[in-house]
Amino acid sequence: MNYFLIFVGAGIGGVFRFLCSTFVQKMTGGWMFPLGTFAVNMLGCLLIGYLMQLSESRGVFQAEGRLFVFVGVLGGFTTFSSFGLETFHLLRDGEYMFAIANAVGQVVLGLVLVWLGIVAARLLHGG
């Protein structure tokens, strides 16, 4: 049953990733920087921090719910494999500044947003 929950959650997360990333990328007019993937990863970091805090402080998710949401949905939604490939392509294509901005920005801003999600959950829900 656990594998099924992860499988279904990852499918849902993957569809949401595609929709969100495609929307953001189209809004940028085809800019070279992979902003769609960047936006998805940052939103995923914010959501996982927020939901993790609720899970730990309020017991919002049981074990199966955590598998479905954290491993499945958010695992399918966030795109660090795409991040790695896109950063590699930027490097390969000689777009070194975009590659560095992508790598550093996603890691640093992602960590800040995980923290911000935790703080938001604490402020809004206590604990």
- The per-residue pLDDT string of the chain (127 residues; one tens digit each, 9 = 90 and over) reads 999 999 999 999 999 999 999 999 999 987 889 999 999 999 999 999 999 999 989 999 999 999 999 999 999 999 888 899 899 999 999 999 999 999 999 999 999 999 999 999 999 998 7
* pTM for the model: 0.82
pLDDT 10s digits, 37-63: 999 999 999 999 999 999 989 999 999
3-state secondary structure the chain: CHHHHHHHHHHHHHHHHHHHHHHHHHHCCCCCCCHHHHHHHHHHHHHHHHHHHHHHHHCCCCHHHHHHHHHHHHHHHCCHHHHHHHHHHHHHCCCHHHHHHHHHHHHHHHHHHHHHHHHHHHHHHCC
Predicted local distance difference test score (pLDDT) of residue 80: 86
| pLDDT at residue number 31 | 84
Domain ranges of the chain: 2-125
pLDDT computed for residue 74 by the predictor = 95
